[in-house]
């Protein structure tokens, strides 16, 4: 299934979301997208295609799919096949846009503006004033935010999107397996990140986030935990090695964490303290997974995982338990996070079938390093599907 | 000179532009730039670096260089070295931003919003309402557009920027030379574009614009002229071959057009009709070049070239004679174009020293194909420096 077909699926889905939320029309209004690109374009126009002149992509709950574009952008948009009606102009978009709205006569029009969700805030302020100028004197100047439309559209993955995330996850797991075969004591974090990048490039993939921090590598007890760039710390026997890594493939990403234990000479399994910590982390992930179902609220899922870890006697982690993934590593507004100020409304979002979330948390083992796990999971109508093969035991090398 | 150093040059230059235009402060206000990136960031922050939380990059005519960023973005921004003061926050940017403005007490504040220039319109509408909320009740809520600041800043290239464009031009010319050696009758436009892409990739370069249309290739008299994707038309003896192509290297681009003539068996030079057309095109380019100096208005330069071509008896071309290049192939608001409605105010822009423009135009030779030339030139205080080696004779193969 091509990326064009994914756009077709998302456009169909968008019309369903407009019906569900009873919004008559949704307008994505853009220009010169090579300079700055409304994130909604990747969902309902194309992950790569650019337009130059002022362009409006209009979807309605009646099922209209109308693009208004400059003459020279017409052919590319028509070829997409997602917009049954492609209107072109030479002089300016104002008249054809007003004509189209008079024909559709929508009572509510959603536009891409949001203080809370950057993914739904693709309309620039200059384009907003341009749009108001165009609509002045018409009945169509009362605009609402499309943030609820965009949030559902990003969050509810279609079959083709799910297949692509699965593919990115499988590639990442294969790279982890290759790394396991390469791992030996004495490698620095930088060398380990280099091995991961080599394998990634050999597979024709790119990093899911900034390559300097993807993978993040934490070797042993002295390396700082978090998203710091890999450093000179070495993976030594008796230490834990933690990696947070994801790839992008065909426009969709993975995001996984794995933890290795480097056996001391003569050792056959991790020390009890590390094993106990691993079991606590794994148990908390499973508790989060059990709570992750349609209708659950973000903070409830977080609390299930967080409280399980704390009941095991480990300190609270200072981040959310999970986030959406899809075209990006934060691919939706809902966060499986605590009701802390910095998560704002996102922790109050409701989980929906078709969402793909990470489940991730970890603990420090003194003198050994950091144990962190992160799995990628799909919410289904009946519960949860693991997209990654969960790490159920520390990987010993 | 690294890209970081270019940012240092541009930040210095921005402070000079603020003084020149008597604007007290300029705020670039962004968040989650991986999702959508204000184009001004590539000039005054970094061509590649992203920030996650709400961030404000403040420059003043007093020389202040202040960044306000979320805690986790601090280290990256501090490492840039372009902002002497990096203020961080955990809760929200509102208080530190207001505190900073009270300290600076600017009488005028420019923000990145513009209906006319997409490069100066990087502030989203949601971020604009957020900013107004933050500034409510302060004396700092009267905001002006930074479009004049950004236009000058993009248009006036620094030494390091000029060096990079020169480098991209030299690479492009080398690829043209390699192509000349490969060219033979019977190759299709698609095959020729493939050869160009091969040479480009072998040099570790990327295309200056959408690769499907970069190069644009026009072989013989039946191929459509313009930015159409290369097709099945073949370069045949007795025909002209025209290529419009540019590369991106280290963040800066070239944009050149060259024309070849494929000799018939026994021929040693182009037919007189093609030679006459070439001379007219070349003469019009030279007329544009003579008019291109600091203080000239865009349409005057266009008229010098256009009227010269028309006096030679050729029809008017339906595009502008030139545009800025730099980080992108349309890297500034001024266009060397006619006073047609579609060029709006851009044809009234004033040429400045440090601008790098294309000079480009062409004519159809019936039965032969299209002759088009495009050169890249730097405006200096005293006139003009050719960054490309101008094509002074049709390249015969």
* Minimal-distance CA residue of chain A relative to B124: A124
- What residues of A are in contact with residue B119 (Cβ under 8 Å)? 32, 35
Rounded to an integer, the average pLDDT of B99-118 is 96
Interface membership of A94 toward B (CB under 8 Å): no
3-state DSSP assignment of residue A378: strand
Interface membership of A253 toward B (CB under 8 Å): no
Where do you find CATH 3.90.230.10 in chain B? Answer: 156-396
* pLDDT confidence of residue A228: 67
* pLDDT confidence of residue B254: 98
Helices (H) and strands (E) in chain A, counts: 10, 18
DSSP notation for A328-349: SSS-SS-EE--S-GGGGGGGGP
- What residues of B are in contact with residue A133 (Cβ under 8 Å)? 115
* pLDDT confidence of residue A309: 98
Considering only B39-48, B329-338, B388-397, which range has the smallest mean pLDDT?
B329-338
- What residues of B are in contact with residue A121 (Cβ under 8 Å)? 36, 124-127
ipTM of the complex as predicted: 0.85
Are residues B222 and B239 in contact, defined by beta-carbon separation less than 8 angstroms?
A: no
**Considering chain A, what percentage of its residues have pLDDT values greater than 70?**
98
Whether the model pTM is above 0.90: no
**Considering chain B, what percentage of its residues have pLDDT values greater than 90?**
85
For the segment(s) A3-154, the CATH number from 3.40.50.2300, 3.40.50.300, 3.40.350.10, 3.30.470.20 is 3.40.350.10
Give the model confidence (pLDDT) of B330-341 as tens digits.
Answer: 887 899 999 987
pLDDT band at A17 (very low <50, low <70, confident <90, very high): very high
Are residues B104 and B25 in contact, defined by beta-carbon separation less than 8 angstroms?
A: yes
* pLDDT confidence of residue B228: 67
Alpha-carbon distance of B153 to B165, in angstroms, equals 16
**Surface-to-core class of residue B229, CB atoms within 10 Å of its CB (0-12 exposed, 13-18 middle, 19+ buried):** middle
| Interchain pair B342, A90: CB under 8 A | yes
- What residues of A are in contact with residue B125 (Cβ under 8 Å)? 113, 121, 123-125, 127-128
Alpha-carbon distance of B226 to B319, in angstroms, equals 10
Does residue A2 register a pLDDT over 80?
A: no
> What is the DSSP-derived secondary structure letter of residue B49?
-
For the segment(s) B156-396, the CATH number from 3.90.230.10, 3.40.50.150, 3.30.1340.30, 3.30.310.80 is 3.90.230.10
Where do you find CATH 3.40.350.10 in chain A? Answer: 3-154
Give the model confidence (pLDDT) of B209-254 as tens digits.
Answer: 988 889 999 999 988 886 667 888 999 999 999 999 999 999 999 9
The bridge status of strand B25-30 relative to strand A395-396 is unpaired
Distance of CA A218 to the CA centre of its chain: 23
**Selected residue of B124, B133, B147, B341 to mutate for chain A interface (largest A Cβ count, 10 A):** B124
Interface membership of A233 toward B (CB under 8 Å): no
Give the model confidence (pLDDT) of A191-249 as tens digits.
Answer: 999 999 999 999 999 999 988 889 999 999 988 886 667 888 999 999 999 999 999 99
Average pLDDT, chain A: 94
**Surface-to-core class of residue B136, CB atoms within 10 Å of its CB (0-12 exposed, 13-18 middle, 19+ buried):** exposed
């Amino acid at each position: 299934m091509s990326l064009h077909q994914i756009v077709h699926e998302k456009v169909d889905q968008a019309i369903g979301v407009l019906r569900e939320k009873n919004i008559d029309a949704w307008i994505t209004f853009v220009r010169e997208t090579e300079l700055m690109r409304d994130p909604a374009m990747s969902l309902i126009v194309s992950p790569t295609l650019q337009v130059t002149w002022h362009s409006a992509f209009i979807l309605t709950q009646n099922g209209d799919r109308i693009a208004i574009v400059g003459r020279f952008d017409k052919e590319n948009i028509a070829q997409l096949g997602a917009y049954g009606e492609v209107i072109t102009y030479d002089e300016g978009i104002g008249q054809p846009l007003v004509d189209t709205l008079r024909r559709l006569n929508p009572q509510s029009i959603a536009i891409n503006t949001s203080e809370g969700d950057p993914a739904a805030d693709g309309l620039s302020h200059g384009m907003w004033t341009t749009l108001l100028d165009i609509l002045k004197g018409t009945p169509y100047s009362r605009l609402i935010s499309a943030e609820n439309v965009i949030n559902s559209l990003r969050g509810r993955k279609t079959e083709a999107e799910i297949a692509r995330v699965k593919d990115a996850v499988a590639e990442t797991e294969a790279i982890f397996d290759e790394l396991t075969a390469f791992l030996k004591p004495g490698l620095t974090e930088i060398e380990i990140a280099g091995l991961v990048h080599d394998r990634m490039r050999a597979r024709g993939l790119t990093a899911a986030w900034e390559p300097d921090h993807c993978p993040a590598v934490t070797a042993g007890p002295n390396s700082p935990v978090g998203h710091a760039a890999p450093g000179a710390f070495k993976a030594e026997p008796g230490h834990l090695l933690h990696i947070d890594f994801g790839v992008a493939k065909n426009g969709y990403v993975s995001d996984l964490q794995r933890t290795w234990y480097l056996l001391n000479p003569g050792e056959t399994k991790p020390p009890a303290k590390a094993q106990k910590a691993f079991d606590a982390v794994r148990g908390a992930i499973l508790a989060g997974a059990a709570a992750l179902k349609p209708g659950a609220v973000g903070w409830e899922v977080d609390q299930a995982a967080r409280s399980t870890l704390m009941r095991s006697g480990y300190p609270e982690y200072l981040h959310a338990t999970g986030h959406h993934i899809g075209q990006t590593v934060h691919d939706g507004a809902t966060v499986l996070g605590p009701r802390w100020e910095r998560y704002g409304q996102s922790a109050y979002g409701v989980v929906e079938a078709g969402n793909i979330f990470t489940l991730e948390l970890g603990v420090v083992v003194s003198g050994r390093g950091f144990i962190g796990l992160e799995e990628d999971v799909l919410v289904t109508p009946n519960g949860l599907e693991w997209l990654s093969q969960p790490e159920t035991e520390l990987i010993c090398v």
